[in-house]
Amino acid sequence: MRAIGKWVFVLRDEKESTFGDLNISEKALTKNYVGEIKHIANDKIVTFGDRVHLPHYGVTDNVADGIEYAVFDSEKLFAKQVGKDWVPINGYVKVRKCVNDHIRDSSGEVALYMTDNHIEKTNWVEIIDVADDCKHMRKEWIGYFCFSPERSEKLQRILYRKEFMLHESEIKFITSGE
């Protein structure tokens, strides 16, 4: 069996039965979002054997030749593993969500303390990395900020981290934060 068109077949990693020092019960185990590409048709961004992060939407599990694969459109790929890090691909930008802070004066000193109930996450994100194939975003904008949608198929969380991958088509403007 071979992938044709834009389809990709990924062999998922085994289910993780621990998180840190905690054992996860069999009932709470979920399928892994990380795997290795086994079949892909005409894709220049990733190749056979690359480790990728599976998208959260649009994945179908299919058994072929007795092996279960995650099957999805290769345009939904957003991150591949390079060493221990996840790098953006396919027009995605790696971002970190910002958190509202205490109100500070121009020197950075706290002018007004906010209670824990009033400090919350915002839709502002900091640009951490930019995919090489982005059409509009540039590497020199790393460290800048932009506004992110609250929910979108083009906003994908990277495993259990604070970083996300956001497709450049969702970014309307950027700012240096000044």
pLDDT tens for residues 31-55? 788 999 998 877 778 888 999 999 9
pLDDT tens for residues 14-32? 877 777 788 877 776 677 8
Q: Which amino acid is at 41?
A: A
- In the β-sheet with 155-157, what is the strand arrangement from edge to edge? 155-157, 163-167, 92-99, 121-130, 145-147, 174-175
Residue 120 has pLDDT above 70, yes or no: no
User: Average pLDDT of the chain?
Assistant: 84
Q: Give the distance from CA 11 to its chain's centroid.
A: 18
Q: CA–CA separation, 131 vs 89, rounded Å?
A: 5
* More confident site: 3 or 40: 40
DSSP-derived secondary structure for 8-67:
EEEEEPPPP-EETTEEPPGGG----SEEEEEEESS-SS--TT-EEEPPSSS-EEEEETTE
For residues 9 and 71, is the Cβ–Cβ distance under 8 A? yes
Q: Which of 96, 55, 62 is nearest to 77 (CA)?
A: 55
Tell me the sheet residues that pair with 6.
Answer: none
Q: CA–CA separation, 170 vs 56, rounded Å?
A: 17
Q: CA–CA separation, 88 vs 86, rounded Å?
A: 7
Domains of the chain: 7-77 (2.30.33.40), 86-175 (2.30.33.40)
3-class state of residue 93 by DSSP: strand
For residues 73 and 57, is the Cβ–Cβ distance under 8 A? no
Please count the CA atoms within 13 angstroms of the CA of 2 that sit on its side-chain side.
4
**CA 140, 173, 178, 78 torsion: positive or negative?**
negative
pLDDT for the residue numbered 95? 94
